[in-house]
Amino acid sequence: MEQSGTAQVIMATHSPLQMACPNARLFRISRFGLDPIDFQDTDHFRMMRDFCSDPAAFLAEALYEDEP
């Protein structure tokens, strides 16, 4: 598809792996329309990064953040 230059793929995903594909153009849907965004600035990338760096702390915060 990339070599022919005649294909376009529109995909909705939460996968940072797919968002990181070379030459991918990402857009965030906001109340103002579509905003270009780098995959490292997406909430899903940050969540996966935080989980991979410290799974126990990530889960503790996610599961117990409302408790005293």
Q: Is residue 2 part of a domain?
A: no
Q: Where are the beta strands (DSSP E) in the chain?
A: 27-30, 33-36
Q: Is residue 27 part of a domain?
A: yes
Interhelix angle for 43-53 vs 55-64, to 10°? 120
> What is the chain's length?
68
pTM score, two decimals? 0.65
> Average of pLDDT values for 16-44?
88
pLDDT (0 to 100) of residue 29: 87
Q: Is residue 11 part of a domain?
A: no
Q: Is residue 30 part of a domain?
A: yes
Confidence of residue 8 (pLDDT cuts 50, 70, 90): confident
Total number of domains constituting the chain: 1
Q: Is residue 36 part of a domain?
A: yes
Handedness of CA 43, 49, 54, 55 (dihedral sign): positive
The residue type at 6: T
